[in-house]
């Protein structure tokens, strides 16, 4: 088995959408489907990837906007994985039109994510390929996906290169985010590449040495 991860920057907010692919089988997980779901479906088809699951780092609209369309493009629908607190929070938000688009709610929670569990790229698979860590603070029920074999972690909006996720939002918690960055991100190996929800990749080592928002 050989894993790879591929990036598409989509939508008016420049969201990073990730495809985690088992290169041997073509099985693929779509992480944080943003706007332009048809583009995401087309990219997967063009590459010969077989979409099997959708994983969501958190419930903010720009990270889940395409989940319903992508999931329901298949029969049966692709299973959706999300932290239960994130799912409840996202679906408690009023229906919104953002950037001229009426947003779809996350339609279901098929795979509840909790801190410390391991995931496979296929639903129900038994290979411990991806670890889930709770990085709440920017948004309730935020998680990261750590992929040891790639020395990479998809971190959503928890941390960015030289910055952190906003905490002046509804139900954000600044101190909790800092605690989780220190305990769940900075404890990963320094060489781990961090793949955020927006902007360029960074590394654990770089952030520990340079991020002005997280000290100690």
Instruction: Classify residue 216: in a domain, yes or no.
Output: no
Percent of the chain with pLDDT over 90: 90
Look over the chain and give the mean of its residue pLDDT values, rounded to a whole number.
95
Cis peptide before 99 (omega within 30 of 0): no
Residue 97 pLDDT > 60: no
Instruction: Classify residue 61: in a domain, yes or no.
Output: yes
Residue 63 pLDDT > 80: yes
Instruction: Classify residue 215: in a domain, yes or no.
Output: no
Instruction: Classify residue 170: in a domain, yes or no.
Output: yes
What pLDDT band is residue 164 in, cutting at 50, 70 and 90? very high
Residue 101 pLDDT > 80: no
- pLDDT on residue 92: 86
- pLDDT on residue 43: 98
- pLDDT on residue 169: 82
CATH label of the domain that carries residue 103: 3.60.15.10
- pLDDT on residue 171: 87
- pLDDT on residue 95: 66
Instruction: Classify residue 172: in a domain, yes or no.
Output: yes
- pLDDT on residue 100: 61
Q: State the residue range of the domain holding 18.
A: 3-210
Instruction: Classify residue 86: in a domain, yes or no.
Output: yes
Query: Would you call 19 helix, strand, or coil by DSSP?
Result: strand
Contacts of 102 (CB under 8 A, 6+ apart): 95, 96
DSSP 185: I
Q: How many domains does the chain have?
A: 1
pLDDT in tens, 168-212: 987 899 999 999 999 999 999 999 999 999 999 999 999 999 999
Instruction: Classify residue 149: in a domain, yes or no.
Output: yes
Q: How far is CA 118 from the centre of its chain?
A: 15
Instruction: Classify residue 89: in a domain, yes or no.
Output: yes
Asked whether 92 and 59 are in contact (CB, 8 A), the reply is no
Residue 159 pLDDT > 80: yes
Residue 15 pLDDT > 90: yes
- pLDDT on residue 216: 62
Instruction: Tell me the CA distances in angstroms from 183 to 21, 22, 85, 132, 146, one per residue in order.
Output: 28, 29, 20, 13, 14
Percent of the chain with pLDDT over 70: 95
Q: What are phi and psi of 85, to 5 degrees?
A: -65, -35
């Amino acid at each position: 088995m050989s894993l790879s991860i591929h990036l598409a920057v989509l939508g008016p907010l420049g969201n990073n959408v990730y495809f985690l692919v088992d290169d041997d089988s073509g099985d693929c997980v779509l992480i944080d489907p943003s706007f332009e779901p048809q583009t995401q479906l087309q990219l997967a088809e063009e590459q010969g990837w077989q979409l099997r699951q959708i994983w969501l780092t958190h419930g903010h609209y720009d990270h889940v906007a395409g989940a319903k369309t992508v999931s329901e493009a298949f029969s049966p629908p692709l299973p959706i994985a999300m932290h239960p607190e994130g799912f409840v929070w996202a679906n408690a938000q009023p229906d919104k039109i953002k950037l001229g688009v009426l947003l779809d709610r996350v339609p279901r929670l098929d795979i509840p994510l909790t801190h410390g569990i391991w995931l496979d790229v296929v639903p129900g698979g038994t290979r411990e390929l991806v670890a889930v860590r709770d990085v709440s603070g920017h948004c309730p029920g935020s998680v990261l996906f750590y992929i040891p074999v790639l020395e990479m972690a998809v971190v959503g909006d928890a941390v960015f290169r030289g910055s952190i996720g906003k905490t002046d939002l509804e139900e954000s918690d600044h101190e909790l985010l800092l605690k989780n960055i220190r305990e769940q991100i900075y404890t990963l190996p320094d060489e781990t590449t961090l793949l955020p929800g927006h902007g360029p990749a960074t590394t654990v080592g770089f952030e520990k040495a340079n991020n002005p928002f997280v000290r100690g």
